[in-house]
Amino acid sequence: MDLARATPDYTTQKLAEYYAATALQPLLDQGAVGAFDIAADVQPSPGDDGGKMLVLTVKAYAPGGALLADMGPIPVAGSPKLS
C-alpha cells in the first residue's frame, strides 16, 4: 500500500508503524541501535479544509539506553502537497 496516497486512519497508522519497524530492523540486528520507539498518529492537516494527515515519530536508543535520535513528526499520508 502506498501510504502517501492512503487515507489517514487507524489501518494506515498501524501499517506505517509496521513499515518503519521493518525498515529499521537491520539496525537492531547489527547491534547499531538498542531499540526504537515508533509511533504514528492521525492529526489535523494544516489549513481550514478539515482534512487529516498521518505523521510518524521515531526515537532511536543506543544499546545502553541513551537517546540517539528523536525524529518527527514526519508527514507520511494525507499531508498537503508541497508547491
Query: Per residue in 2-61, pLDDT tens?
Result: 777 777 888 888 999 999 999 999 999 999 999 999 999 988 887 757 778 889 999 999
pTM above 0.85, yes or no: no
51-82: pLDDT as tens digits: 788 899 999 999 999 999 999 888 887 755 54
What confidence score (pLDDT) does residue 10 get? Answer: 85
Closest CA to 12 of 1, 23, 28: 1
Pairing of strands 67-77, 52-61: antiparallel
Peptide bond just before 73 cis, omega within 30 deg? yes
Alpha helices by DSSP H, listed for 1-83, are: 10-30
